[in-house]
Amino acid sequence: MASTPESKVKRKVNAILSALDCYYFYPMTGGYGRSGVPDIIGCYKGLFFGIECKAGKGKATALQCANIDEINRTGGHAFVVREDTATLEFIREELDHGLANVRAVRRQ
């Protein structure tokens, strides 16, 4: 991974997901891939998730936002992580929040 500000965020998130014992990967978006897919796709305790990593004042594009919304709408959990939120606590809270939402929908 190149040493860009965003790659530093991805490395932090990578370490956190490993510590949480998540299955995850970085999808390829060129050729047969799908554009706008979050930087990291994975599974946490049965929850499908997507994480878009941003550095500095970077913002998710309209296409990235559409993919995040689609993941959330269909029962997964997707969110943006920034340099200042790339912490174990933030990511664990986001993933646990996603799990709670899925359980609530299943009870209905």
Domain-wise residue ranges, the chain: 5-107
Tell me which residue has tokens 């599974």. 43
**What's the whole-model pTM score?**
0.90
Strands 23-25 and 47-54: unpaired
Residue 24 confidence (pLDDT) above 70: yes
% of the chain residues with pLDDT over 90: 73
CATH of domain 5-107: 3.40.1350.10
Integer Cα distance of 108 and 93 in angstroms: 23
Q: Does residue 74 or residue 5 have the better pLDDT?
A: 74
